[in-house]
Amino acid sequence: METPAKIEGTAAPGRNNRAFEFLRDIPKQLLIAGKWAPAQAGGTFHTINPATEEVLTTVAEGDARDVDAAVKAAREAFENGPWSHITPHQRAKYLLKIAELVQKHADELAHVITLDNGKPISEARNEVVRTAEVFIYYAGWTTKICGETNPSDPSLFNYTLREPLGVCGQIIPWNGPLSMVAWKVAPALACGNTVVLKPAEQTPLPALAFGKLTLEAGLPAGVVNIITGFGPTAGAAIARHRDIDKVAFTGSTSVGREILQAAASNLKRVSLELGGKSPNIIFDDANLELAVAGSAMGIFRNQGQVCCAGSRIFIQQKIYDEFAERLTQVASGITLGDPLQPGTTMGPLVSDEQYERVLGYLNVGKQEGACVRAGGERGPQSRGYFVAPTVFADVKSDMRIAREEIFGPVASLIPFRDETDAVLQANDTIYGLAAAVWTRNVNRALALARRLRAGTVWINCYGILDPISPFGGYKQSGFGRELGKDSIELYTQPKSVFIKFQK
């Protein structure tokens, strides 16, 4: 921190002072080859508390030279360091140790997430739990990454190995600043790779806290390297670096295209989890109480800053008015305020840039003729990036608020006639990350699950994720799947071996 008084001024009576001490103790430098170091150019930047617009601290601003140093450290650890020689059982122990430390510091990590990101402390605690679960899940995979023996010519013995890719560049977003670390790092390490991680410049602190825990876990030097900095410099350097074997990116579709182009420099492998404009379809036979609650969670959780947020809510005409009224009541009852307070159910957006973006879309929706049923304006707070949870009714599928990813707490309510109309409107998008269907008709639900062009479909629920099940998108929501056994395939490559029998 700039000064201890800065953090003490942020803390209030009754808050967890141990968490603020933990925050002060997080190194604000780059993690390269197992050591903390300033950026070579000496650059730094502020990270802001979005609830107060105050500077939390100053962190190192890495650039291409720092990325190059991190890649060299990661390459050394992969090729010659102890990481290249340890057994799968030992890798599992490291992952389990990291999970143990995440659980040990759960409350402190949750506070760091909330201070840097703005999400309510209850949601931040859930994120920490999910982070530990992912490391535990992939610890179980280390001993199950198997090859095959194949029938071949009788004079030959053929088998395959599944080997790590090497050095993996990983660029993560700000909306899940710790869980996205787990999604990327855990499977990469389980498979025997080394990592150069760049967190979002808006939320560098959870990743730096994670880096501190990897050192406490005793992870060999160079296995995990962390470069804080900006996308056009540090992120672009990772994407184009010729000694990185794979890049994994979660973020906007526009930046995903740039990552893909830059990765062509050495034809590195790429996986992209990008934007979404997910349809949430409510049929007139649905349990309306559950559908309203699930839909509210689907669009308002994390202030709507979720790639798979159910921002397009399609409602069958017969129940449109009733659903709109109920969702409006829920939105109007959300407590918008200090995310560290237990009673707060929605915090601020992550940054001034995101705040202005969402406010701009609120104006667009009004200009397009949509009816504001709730919200539609900035929050009442004098400081902080607060936007009121918003419900737009009478939305048409060709409106910008129904087609473009807003990434904020903005629901667009769109009527539909029947199943065919629902599917046509739902699939009429460049995105395909997720979708949901609410109905008591099992045949209809299963039929729509096949017809909807999305990587995940929820039936009578929303937003459920589990490390056992793959997550990723269709169309311009990206390619490659994270979580589940699919991540093992993302971070390994098969090798065929032939043995000729000798007489």
Produce one character per residue of 318-338: b if its CB has 16 or more CB atoms within 10 Å, e if not. ebbeebbebbbebbeebebbb
- DSSP string of 17-46? HHHHHHHHHS--SEEETTEEE--TT--EEE
Do 168 and 239 contact (CB within 8 A), yes or no? Answer: no
Q: Among 168, 307, 308, 482, which one carries the catalytic annotation?
A: 307
Q: CA Rg, the chain, in Å? A: 23
Do 220 and 34 contact (CB within 8 A), yes or no? Answer: yes
Q: If we measure between CA atoms, which residue out of 158, 152, 183, 156 comes closest to residue 170?
A: 183
Note if 146 is an active site residue.
no
d(CA 388, CA 375): 5
d(CA 261, CA 282): 39
Q: If we measure between CA atoms, which residue out of 76, 61, 104, 397 comes closest to residue 233?
A: 61
Q: Among 201, 273, 419, 482, which one carries the catalytic annotation?
A: 273
Give the list of residues 6+ apart from residue 72 with CB closer than 8 angstroms, or none.
243
Place of tokens 């599917």: 423
- H helices of 80-220, in order, are 88-104, 106-117, 121-139, 179-190, 205-216
Do 305 and 350 contact (CB within 8 A), yes or no? Answer: yes
Q: Kindly state the DSSP code that residue 220 receives in the 8-state scheme.
A: P
Note if 371 is an active site residue.
no
Largest separation between any pair of C-alpha atoms in the chain: 85
The residues annotated with a catalytic role in the active site are 273, 307
